[in-house]
Amino acid sequence: MLVALPDAKSLLTDLLARYRHRADFLSVRIEEAEGTDILLRGSKVETLSEGISVGGQVRVCHQGGWGFASFNRLEQLSDRLEEAIAAAHLVGDDETLLAPIPILQDAYHLPLTGSDPRHIPLARKKDLCRHYAEILRSLDDRITTTSVRYGDSTQRVVIATSEGTLIEQSWSDMEMRFAATARHSDMVQTGRETTGSRCAYEDLEQLDEQVRSAAQRAVDALALPPVKGNTYTVVIDPILTGLFVHEAFGHLSESDMIYENPDLMEVMTLGRRFGSDELQIFDGAAPLGHRGSYAYDDEGVPATTTQLIQDGVLVGRLHSRETAGKLDETPTGNARCLNYHYPPLVRMTNTWIESGTTPVADLSSDIREGVYARNWIGGMTNGEMFTFTAGEAWMIRKGELAEPVRDVTLSGNVFTTLADIEAIGDDFFWDESGGCGKGGQSGLAVGCGGPSLRIRNIVVGGEAVED
């Protein structure tokens, strides 16, 4: 366990005072994490574990060079500081540019609105997984494979810097993932659902319909025709909007990717127009109650809300202190690490497109032939290019939803697609299923949100169109 908090703070303050003169900047982050991991495949429990991990990290910057070291015992801290200082001196040959921030001393504990997962017995968590697994398996005889995964983690973090910042922060995060695969002859289809919460364990106990829906989609897709591959006007639901804004646009707003890539820097020039006057995009950890919410990032920078696109124009980007310093901009509180094994990177928090003014029912009203897509089962991005697979889809014919179709993949260039948004719905939904990956740090909790969108000229993959 961590030493008592007053003792830990005193230890960090004393050590940083002793080593402050050896480098331009020093930071120590100590962490205690307590969590549960359960995995059921079919009726078999493959993973059932509870654990506590304790450790910390040291970051040192000197003449622009960084040294990093992690540790598992506080008595190792002095040695790790020496190692990180030596590494920073070895690679540093420039100027240390860290944007200034308020020097704060604070303690913040993200409040829960219901039960703390640490207070729920392991047997109750396992029974919940079995209950959902039975729903998946029992829906239809064509369901051949199922999986249910439960995970929770409660983290307590103390961050201290050579500048005088001293922050304590704690939170609990919970997530469940469900998958069902249906098979008929040579046809195989899969339905998936993911959900999470930083509010209450009870948020994971009322998911019967969501779980049943995942299995039902897999079964229903067995009998559906594939979509005819073509370029269509597409209407997407808020969940796909959230995925799109996070994966396709949000990562390009992370400034460590921008300042290291001259071509991307040119594309992501502030003041450049990317969409209509109605398009507003934000990222921020300040909104409460979401999986990307916190009070301070892993550099001790207060959480903010950053507008990335205003009235269709690029006006902001996401920063650590270093990227803000290099680009002469303001830190946004987006330096995050998965745990003490990794240094903070510029990461999204909660990313969303603001609601528009078009009634949802009107988004497809004048589409002669198009596609309505909702939810998702997979996707990938490569720079500014994206490909997402919808969880469900229907053809739109003469403004009305027509036959359901399967194997709907949506592909395009994010910047072209932003410009091709024809209408923004007046609805909105927060998707708390996100687990973001970057730089080897996968599964970082994020929130995504948005309204329904109508987008022209989307390439929809599927069965080839016959001439």
C-alpha separations of 298 from 29, 105, 170, 318, 376 in Å:
8, 14, 12, 14, 31
The CA distance from 317 to 268, in Å, is: 9
Total domains in the chain come to 2
The CA distance from 397 to 402, in Å, is: 6
Q: What is the pLDDT of residue 466?
A: 42
pLDDT tens-digit series, residues 369-406: 999 999 998 888 888 999 999 999 999 999 999 999 99
Indicate whether 331 belongs to any domain. yes
Q: What is the pLDDT of residue 8?
A: 78
Q: Looking at the structure, tell me whether residues 87 and 208 fall in a common domain.
A: yes
pTM of the shown model:
0.95
Q: What is the pLDDT of residue 463?
A: 53
Indicate whether 467 belongs to any domain. no
* Cβ-based neighbour number of residue 48 at 10 Å: 16
Beta bridge partners of 382: 385
C-alpha separations of 388 from 263, 379, 383, 436, 452 in Å:
25, 4, 14, 15, 16
Q: Looking at the structure, tell me whether residues 359 and 403 fall in a common domain.
A: yes
Asked whether the CA dihedral 124, 129, 135, 137 is positive or negative, the reply is: negative
CATH number at residue 168: 3.30.2290.10
Domain final position from 174, 202, 221: 221
Indicate whether 299 belongs to any domain. yes
Phi-psi region of 130 (alpha: psi -120 to 50; beta: other; left: phi over 0): alpha
Domain range for 117: 5-221
Q: What is the pLDDT of residue 57?
A: 96
The CA distance from 322 to 255, in Å, is: 10
Q: What is the pLDDT of residue 25?
A: 98
Q: What is the pLDDT of residue 5?
A: 54
Indicate whether 153 belongs to any domain. yes
Q: Looking at the structure, tell me whether residues 160 and 297 fall in a common domain.
A: no
Q: Looking at the structure, tell me whether residues 240 and 361 fall in a common domain.
A: yes
Q: What is the distance of C-alpha 296 from the center of its chain? A: 17
Indicate whether 170 belongs to any domain. yes
Domain final position from 194, 221, 248: 221
The label of the residue with tokens 């109750």 reads: 124
The CA distance from 247 to 258, in Å, is: 15
Indicate whether 466 belongs to any domain. no
* Closest to 144 measured CA to CA, from 182, 97, 201: 182
Under 8 Å between Cβ of 309 and 388: no
Helices within 222-366 (DSSP H only):
238-243, 255-259, 262-267, 321-327
Q: Looking at the structure, tell me whether residues 287 and 402 fall in a common domain.
A: yes
- Per the structure block, which two tokens stand in for 223? 């009998």
Under 8 Å between Cβ of 437 and 446: no
Indicate whether 12 belongs to any domain. yes
Q: Looking at the structure, tell me whether residues 287 and 421 fall in a common domain.
A: yes
Q: Looking at the structure, tell me whether residues 273 and 411 fall in a common domain.
A: yes
Q: Looking at the structure, tell me whether residues 167 and 291 fall in a common domain.
A: no
Give the burial class of 2: count Cβ atoms within 10 A of its Cβ; 0-12 exposed, 13-18 middle, 19 or more buried: middle
For residue 62, which amino acid is it? Answer: H
Indicate whether 284 belongs to any domain. yes
Q: Looking at the structure, tell me whether residues 59 and 171 fall in a common domain.
A: yes
Q: Looking at the structure, tell me whether residues 210 and 254 fall in a common domain.
A: no
Q: What is the distance of C-alpha 20 from the center of its chain? A: 35
Query: pLDDT below 70 — which residues of the chain?
Result: 1-7, 462-467
Q: Looking at the structure, tell me whether residues 25 and 174 fall in a common domain.
A: yes
Domain final position from 159, 188, 221: 221
Phi/psi of residue 377, nearest 5 degrees: -125, 0
pLDDT tens-digit series, residues 332-341: 999 999 999 9
The label of the residue with tokens 């003490």 reads: 340
Q: Looking at the structure, tell me whether residues 203 and 250 fall in a common domain.
A: no
SS3 30: strand
